[in-house]
């Protein structure tokens, strides 16, 4: 009884902290709505919504609001693949050319494990240019038609040589699931993993069905909220096509970790960073990222898709799970990190916004190329901003000193390699591991 009595004020304190974090995020974003759930030592401490699931109808966001979860989908796809492996229908070392004979491997041997770990070297179709984002993503295409968008592109590197995030790899995993499972991806995932986890409100988020509690999606434009651009939901497919709620994602993580979905051995593979021949650290297993938050081990994945953003983080050594879902396409990763720090009793790091000397800023402005797509650093209103394909406004860069920037509103750090009169490359990561390097092209 004394232990329970002690927990109650601690839970109340955390609830107040999370409420403050959420309200600040809604105001500063601006964001339309958020739902947050926190489970600590098996007890649901926070589970509620803030803001609106639908602004035009004035519908509040709650813990039951259904959000598109983007790339958080990848761990469901990975788990479904591992179910096929466990039941003898697939091997991790099986060749892609054998599984999908029509895919041109260009002389490379690509395995299922390469696809799961983003080490295949296959060009990521979401790195296609503005025409893809402005036109093609609005269409409903078959998996084969999406495949045609990238299958003939040159490999970025030899399979197993490096790590580079590839939505194409997870698209191919979805096609493998359909071929071996004998049903559409949505049905295979439902029977292989969702039912095993006891989930009822996690499902493929197609546009046509009427889905109870589904949030509308929004974007930021000129400091205001607007309706998000349409997207054909066949485009994200097995790389990012699911919907869920914060409570269901808490239940999913618990089921995954306790062996209800895949075996303990399979789950260990999901949370073990892959090794590449170049030896560079990458912090990624099968559909899950492995890292830490101020020294606390974290297993997590974020997701972003038109109008939505999500983050699911598990702190296994602390028996803590944090889920943040939002219906604005501005990353909620920083919000999830703030909630995690509050739950762990950690102080928030100071975010600096130091002035960048004009001559230094001029050295960094330019276009940088990474695996088939470009990142643009440009100056606007006396600030540096970073723009990726499909994003004309870009994200503000906050100078932290020592040559390092923070991408505002995200946990991402950016550092420039400089030589002479201009930067030669930029690196993006968490400040400890640099997961992406883009080389200057102009």
SS3 98: helix
Dist CA 81 CA 114 (whole Å): 13
Predicted confidence at residue 118, as pLDDT, reads 96
End-to-end CA separation in angstroms for the chain? 66
Share of the chain above pLDDT 70, in %: 95
Each residue's pLDDT tens digit, 329-352: 877 988 999 999 999 999 887 778
Contacts of 6 (CB under 8 A, 6+ apart): none
Q: Which helix (H) or strand (E) holds 1?
A: none
pTM of the model as a whole: 0.88
Nearest to 397 by CA among 418, 422, 380: 380
Each residue's pLDDT tens digit, 151-167: 999 999 999 999 988 99
With cut-offs at 50, 70 and 90, classify the pLDDT of residue 2: very low
Dist CA 193 CA 50 (whole Å): 30
Each residue's pLDDT tens digit, 355-382: 888 888 888 898 887 765 678 898 887 7
Domains and CATH numbers, the chain: 68-344 (3.40.710.10), 358-440 (2.40.128)
Each residue's pLDDT tens digit, 295-316: 999 999 999 999 999 999 999 9
SS3 68: strand
Each residue's pLDDT tens digit, 132-148: 878 899 999 999 999 99
Residue 383, preceding peptide bond in cis (omega within 30° of 0): no
Each residue's pLDDT tens digit, 422-442: 888 888 877 666 667 788 887
pLDDT at 15 over 90: yes
pLDDT at 3 over 70: no
Strands of 153-266 (E only): list them: 203-204, 218-221, 224-227, 242-244
Predicted confidence at residue 284, as pLDDT, reads 94
pLDDT at 5 over 50: no
pLDDT at 82 over 70: yes
Whether 108 contacts 154, CB under 8 Å: no
């Amino acid at each position: 009884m004394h232990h329970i009595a002690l927990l109650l004020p601690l839970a109340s304190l955390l609830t107040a902290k999370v409420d403050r974090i959420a309200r600040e995020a809604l105001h500063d974003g601006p964001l339309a709505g958020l739902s947050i759930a926190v489970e600590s030592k098996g007890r649901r401490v926070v589970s509620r919504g803030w803001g609106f699931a639908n602004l035009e109808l004035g519908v509040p966001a709650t813990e039951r609001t259904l959000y598109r979860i983007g790339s958080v989908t990848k761990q469901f796809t990975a788990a479904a693949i591992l179910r096929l492996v466990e039941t003898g229908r697939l091997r991790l070392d099986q060749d892609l050319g054998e599984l999908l004979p029509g895919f041109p491997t260009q002389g490379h041997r690509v395995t299922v494990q390469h696809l799961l770990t983003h080490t295949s070297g296959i060009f990521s179709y979401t790195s296609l240019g503005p025409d893809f984002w402005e036109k093609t993503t609005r269409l409903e295409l078959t998996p084969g038609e999406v495949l045609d968008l990238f299958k003939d592109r040159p490999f970025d590197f030899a399979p197993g040589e490096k790590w580079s995030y590839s939505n194409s790899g997870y698209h191919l995993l979805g096609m493998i699931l359909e071929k071996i499972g004998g049903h559409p991806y949505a049905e295979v995932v439902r029977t292989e993993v969702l039912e095993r986890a006891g989930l009822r409100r996690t499902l493929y988020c197609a546009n046509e069905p009427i889905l109870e509690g589904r949030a509308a999606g929004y974007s930021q434009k000129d400091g205001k909220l607007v309706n998000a651009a349409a997207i054909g939901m066949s485009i994200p497919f097995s790389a990012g096509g699911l919907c869920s709620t914060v409570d269901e994602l808490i239940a999913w993580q618990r089921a995954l970790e306790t062996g209800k979905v895949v075996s303990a051995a399979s789950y260990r593979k999901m949370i073990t960073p892959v090794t590449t021949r170049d030896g560079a650290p990458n912090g990624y297993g099968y559909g899950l990222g492995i890292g830490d938050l101020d020294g606390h081990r974290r297993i997590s994945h974020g997701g972003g898709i038109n109008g939505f953003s999500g983050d699911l983080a598990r702190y296994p050594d602390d028996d803590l799970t944090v889920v943040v879902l939002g219906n604005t396409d501005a990353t909620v990763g920083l919000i999830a990190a703030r909630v995690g720090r509050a739950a762990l009793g950690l102080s928030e790091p100071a975010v600096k916004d130091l002035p960048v000397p004009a001559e230094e800023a001029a050295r960094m402005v330019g276009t940088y190329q990474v695996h088939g797509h470009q990142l643009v650093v440009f100056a606007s209103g006396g600030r540096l901003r970073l723009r990726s394909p499909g994003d004309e406004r870009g994200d503000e860069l906050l100078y932290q000193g020592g040559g390092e920037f923070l991408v505002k509103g995200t946990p991402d750090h950016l550092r420039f390699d400089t030589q002479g009169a201009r930067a030669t490359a930029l690196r993006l990561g968490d400040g400890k591991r640099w997961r992406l390097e883009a080389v200057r092209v102009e």
